[in-house]
Chain A
Amino acid sequence: MTVILGQTFTGISIGAVLLLIALGLSLTFGQMNVINMAHGEFIMAGAYTTYVLQKSISSAGISLLVALPVAFLVSGALGALLEWLLIRRLYLRPLDTLLVTWGVSLMLQQLARDLFGAPNVQTRAPDILTGNITLIGGDDPLTVANSRLFILGLAVAAVVALSLTLRLTPLGRRIRAVVQNRDLAEVSGISTSTVDRTAFFIGSGLAGVAGVALTLVGPIGPTMGTNVIIDAFLVIVVGGIGQLKGTVIVAFALGVLQSVLEYSTTVSVAKVLVLVGIVAFLQWRPQGLYTLRTRSLA
């Protein structure tokens, strides 16, 4: 029983990480149809931001909290720059963005190597986040890591913030308008290029936030982005492009699936099964879990 509960919690915590790394993509890929392979490197930029800030702020807790908004700005700015330099030329060729941003990703990795050295770097987590809380005591205790709870909280907060932004603010309405009908939005007086850049800023900024969170659970190094990028895209694809709720559900579902399979088989087998399962799922629902059904897409 403890095992099942424990693995469910583990799955949810894996899901929270997945959700956080995929959330920015739900905007740039899901809404804007840009396959940004450098998204992983924006996550990396967020992690390195934490590292740099810790050099000047000695308290691990404060530096982590400061890192969240700063990483959002740093990665967001990188994203906006990328959009302005390259992606705006490629909106009509979504598949080409994949290859172009792959080139960008190679360069950013090398840049990180030259700026911070090839080896991984270390950040200090606040002590409170390295512990755990016990849900069920006794001989076979069920514990949940504080770092995972923090990430879960952060992921939920980010989802709420993003969905409120999209729903309630004028910016959000403009983004949705542009996504749904670019020409109509343009003639209604919306500057589509500004909206594109802002949306890219937010999506990339969220990658930065994910990068800060990843410093609590994983390595901080030049290739950390490539480790997660495909998983992030799969979450969006399975969830359904342009569907925030699909992203959320699928992130947690994949997390739980992964953790249960990992427990009952091996990590490698679990990974293969999850990937094959995703392919099979897309046979069943080629447009993902939730789909936008409109006449224009028919």
Chain B
Amino acid sequence: MTGLEIRQLRVSFDGFTAVDGVDLDVRPGDLRFLIGPNGAGKTTLVDAVTGLVKAAGSVRFGGEELLGRSVHRIARAGIGRTFQTATVFEELTVLQNLDIAAGAGRSMWTMLRRRKGVPEPVAKAMETVGLTDLADSPAGTLAHGQKQWLEIGMLLVQDVRLLLLDEPVAGMSHDERQATGSLLERISAERTVVVIEHDMDFMRSFARSVSVLHAGKVLSEGTVAEVQADPKVQEVYLGHTAAEATADVAVREA
């Protein structure tokens, strides 16, 4: 049983190498946290896995090569992601959002008819993320945390096997974080979950394993305790943060 296997992944923008030869293995059932200073290449790594940016190297999931496939084909292979800012369809209701997420394989005929009732997986996902009561509310009216849950719910109805979550708890209250954390724990029982996170408390509470990225490379890997003890990690987090922040701006301006 193989999960996510990344070998020698490399991404560059106009001469700037954002991901520089990353190797990464995430087993099924893992709840892996990716941490690292700004500009370390975390989001770019996820972009590469999901086909948003061109990359060299190899990304396999369940033994299948993903690099070179188009975004929607990668999605159909069971890989789902969220973004730093929650992207739900604000003008559609919670139910409509989940229904769309559940329906990528629907026939033309089904598509052209109206939805009758609530499909089973949608109802189940609404239950899991706790939004059943808000089924008919437009997603735009949800609170920030609820939107993130809706996004995770959308990944659940897609029945993805690999979830890539980009800062899912940013901006959440303490209670929301706890709820999100336990949601992730439940989900990761059956799927592979990778979380990009800056919030160290959140990481310490819920991570099963951690990879630290720095300047496009994997700096350290292991359990929370192992990583925290790594002197290289300490140096990066205490010493170079300011310089990396500048590099991040440089990428945007390139």
Are chains A and B native binding partners rather than an unrelated pairing?
yes
Residues of A within 8 A of B (CB): 180-181, 293-296, 298
Give A177's nearest chain B residue, CB to CB.
Answer: B253
For window 7-37 of chain B, which residues contact chain A by CB distance below 8 Å?
Answer: 13-14, 18
CB distance B53 to A294 under 8 Å? no
For window 42-91 of chain B, which residues contact chain A by CB distance below 8 Å?
Answer: 43-44, 47, 52-53
Residues of B within 8 A of A294 (CB): 13, 251-254
CB distance A180 to B254 under 8 Å? no
CB distance A295 to B44 under 8 Å? yes
CB distance A295 to B14 under 8 Å? no
CB distance B252 to A180 under 8 Å? yes
Residues of B within 8 A of A181 (CB): 252
CB distance B253 to A295 under 8 Å? no
Distance in angstroms from B196 CB to nearest chain A CB is 14
Give B43's nearest chain A residue, CB to CB.
Answer: A295
CB distance A298 to B253 under 8 Å? no
Give A297's nearest chain B residue, CB to CB.
Answer: B252
A293 to B52, CA, bound (A): 13
**Chain B 228-254, CB within 8 Å of chain A: the 1/0 string?**
000000000000000000000001111
A162 to B28, CA, bound (A): 56
Give B53's nearest chain A residue, CB to CB.
Answer: A298
Residues of B within 8 A of A (CB): 13-14, 18, 43-44, 47, 52-53, 251-254
Distance in angstroms from B165 CB to nearest chain A CB is 19
Q: How many A-B residue pairs have CB under 8 A?
A: 23
CB distance B252 to A293 under 8 Å? no
A298 to B11, CA, bound (A): 13
A71 to B254, CA, bound (A): 36
A298 to B44, CA, bound (A): 10
Give A181's nearest chain B residue, CB to CB.
Answer: B252
A180 to B18, CA, bound (A): 19
A293 to B47, CA, bound (A): 15
CB distance A293 to B253 under 8 Å? no
Residues of A within 8 A of B52 (CB): 298
A296 to B254, CA, bound (A): 11
Give A184's nearest chain B residue, CB to CB.
Answer: B249
Give B253's nearest chain A residue, CB to CB.
Answer: A180
Q: 10 closest Cβ contacts across the A-B interface?
A: A294-B252, A296-B252, A295-B251, A293-B14, A298-B53, A298-B52, A293-B13, A294-B254, A180-B253, A295-B252
Give B14's nearest chain A residue, CB to CB.
Answer: A293
Other contacts beyond A293-B14, A294-B253: 9, CB < 8 A: A181-B252, A293-B254, A294-B13, A294-B254, A295-B13, A295-B18, A295-B44, A295-B47, A296-B252
A280 to B47, CA, bound (A): 29
A295 to B44, CA, bound (A): 8
Distance in angstroms from A245 CB to nearest chain B CB is 15
Residues of B within 8 A of A295 (CB): 13, 18, 43-44, 47, 53, 251-252
Residues of A within 8 A of B14 (CB): 293
Contact flag A298-B47 (CB < 8 Å), given A293-B13, A293-B14: yes
Distance in angstroms from A237 CB to nearest chain B CB is 22
Give A180's nearest chain B residue, CB to CB.
Answer: B253
Give B54's nearest chain A residue, CB to CB.
Answer: A298
Residues of B within 8 A of A180 (CB): 252-253
Distance in angstroms from B53 CB to nearest chain A CB is 6
Distance in angstroms from A186 CB to nearest chain B CB is 16
Give B52's nearest chain A residue, CB to CB.
Answer: A298
Give A176's nearest chain B residue, CB to CB.
Answer: B253
Give B254's nearest chain A residue, CB to CB.
Answer: A294
Residues of A within 8 A of B254 (CB): 293-294
A181 to B18, CA, bound (A): 20
Give B44's nearest chain A residue, CB to CB.
Answer: A295
Residues of B within 8 A of A298 (CB): 47, 52-53
A296 to B53, CA, bound (A): 11
A295 to B13, CA, bound (A): 8
A180 to B252, CA, bound (A): 8
Residues of A within 8 A of B251 (CB): 294-295
Distance in angstroms from A192 CB to nearest chain B CB is 17
| Residue in A181, A295, A296, A298 with the greatest tally of chain B CB atoms within 10 Å | A295
